[in-house]
A and B are shown apart, each in its own frame.
Chain A
Amino acid sequence: MDEQTKATALNSRHRDLKALMAPFGGWDMPIQYEGIIAEHAWCRQKAALFDICHMGEFIFQGDFEAGGLEDVFSFSVKTIPLGRSRYGFLLNEQGGIIDDLIVFRLAEDKVMVVVNAATADNDFTVINSRLRGGSFTNITDRTGKLDLQGPLAREVMLAAFGEKMASIPYFKFITVQILGVEAIVSRTGYTGELGYEIFLPVDKVCQLWDLLLQDQRVKPAGLGARDVLRLEVGYSLYGSDIDETTTPLEAGLEAFVNFDKNFVGKQALLSQKEQGIRRKKVAFQVSSRRSPRHHYEICFAGETVGSVTSGVFSPMLGCGIGIGFVKPELTVIGTPFTIRHERVGMEAVVCELPFYSGGSLRS
């Protein structure tokens, strides 16, 4: 672990659990504990606990319109109801995705912005440069975040914190007292399962981790399982599937762009809409248990037509699954691809997203 790599408050917990650790987004993170497949299965069947303290959190307080925040993202902040959150993008002038993020409406004049770890510092600088007023604070270092995900997550939260956890709808959150401090409990996640993201002061995160793991229905899961879980439900991974050279239109994420308001990158996206996109996200299923992997070539009729941005073996489907980018005309369901890398070749066919839709997400 080099000196630039940061450790979350739970680092010694992961090491005590003999986790395999690796750098991710500038942080020393657990990739797996007992094994990616076992942790994936536990999350799909029970409840898995993830250390997500590496993600970034910012607070904006002030007038959204006068302060300039309303024009910063691809979606409207002022129309997010209190106690709800909204997913979308921070874009550059060319419409490229600087980050994908979620904004939580904490109060009439206050939001929390939750961003990816690797991009957090740059995001803060970019957002700050677009603001004209209000206060904008990076609270990443003092904020802990745990994700509890899986069909039994609600029962676990009920047992740990009581009735107030019973009825938080999807993409809603509550501010509650947990372990003597104020915490945000949100019905969001990255797995396709019923689940919670819990934000609280970082000095309480070990206590929360220990408390949740006391429940026999909960096991820790690492970023390896998280990657398989998110790809099975078709969520994009920033840095792999989307980046500053990719627009939401190309990535099939137009639903998270609101063209009825102003935002940085709007003109570029409008002209891209008019001219048509030249490449588009495509999902495919492999005919065997082979895994497509990042940078493998996508071939059609003997020619290389694109490359894989994410790929894994899907335990739910029993085959390899992947996403990548190709010309829009090659994204028709049923189009046959060959995925190639050196000596490896695998047959695949274009399919719909999500790959797996049996999760407990909205239950």
Chain B
Amino acid sequence: MKTHGIGTMRGYLRSDGRKGIRNVVAVGYLVECAHHVAREIAIPFREHDVHVIGFPGCYPNDYADRMMERLCTHPNVGAVLLVSLGCESFNKYALERAVRATGRPVKTIVIQAAGGTRKSIDEGRAFIAEQRALLDAAPTVPMDVSELVIGTVCGGSDGTSGITGNPAAGRAFDQFVEEGAACIFEETGELIGCEHIMAARAATPELGVELEASVAKAARYYATLGYGSFAAGNADGGLSTIEEKSMGAYAKSGASPITGLIKPGDIPPRGGLYLLDVVPDGEVRFGFPNINDNAEIAELIACGSHAVLFVTGRGSVVGSAISPVVKICANPETYRRMEDDMDVDAGRILEGKAGLAEVGLEIHDLVVSLGAGARTKSEQLGHQEFILTYKSFEPIGPACLPAA
């Protein structure tokens, strides 16, 4: 196992064979009406790996069910507390069963049955205190780089993102893929204009067709909505069009062959490079595919990502519940202004102080160090952003995951 002199990775072994680099208690609210109680339960433990996730909707959605199940059984999660108001449609029974089947401790508090806010909070905190003590004493096992799943996303992009941070993340991805890890890039709405060069990297021609189709779907979806995946700040930072943003974003994928196309909640079956198709299937429903970066981060984590590489130019500060977010700052001016939030200064490349390969290796080693006890800046600052909204997907087709 490569250690690069940055410590040896240790993981928490789960019943499905996957290993976690964190041992988080997930507190999941099952409707917005239970959000406050969930947050109050978690507050005394905010420094102790207790993370709040949840679904705000009152009406059922298969995608949200699947996301919650994948997140509650993520390798970085050691125990789960579900918080229900009592009258929402979310199938709390099925979620609790699925979590219990993995061997994880799980408890559901129904606020209406427990006797209201105060009683639910007391009951929830008692469960967490007990679980936290057990999880803190849990043994770890050696973990290899090839067992990692790593996601990448960019947000608050500017004209520097595609020149420094994104290609540096791509170099790190190339190294991880070579070492047998699974790497996931995403946001088909930000690959508009890159679909043909991307398809040429597919492991099979049939997969290439699927990759192109996923971007065509995104272009249609955004055209119907009237906006691209492009925010006002992108223009401030020098990006003029979605195609320009796409070319920069595409660089995050590196240069490895593309192994497969997955959808939110699909776990890569083996190492390699995967495109995560985040744009819903069918006619346009429920609004924007991802209403902000945090929705994409949650989807990458639901696909099993142990850590997420987040490249920013304008300066995003977000982290996430469940998995650490590594902040790679593409813009040297932003880095100097927001250094406390940034793990990697990729703007050095623009200033001629470092090469792409050097920064790529730095990103790679930083991720490995997260499995040896290191914490990202966003973790140290307590960032645990999370959002989950309505979507609908069809399962992936047979061409999406060609056999090895």
State yes or no: do A and B come from one complex: no
Which B residues form the contact surface with A (CB < 8 A)? none
Which A residues form the contact surface with B (CB < 8 A)? none
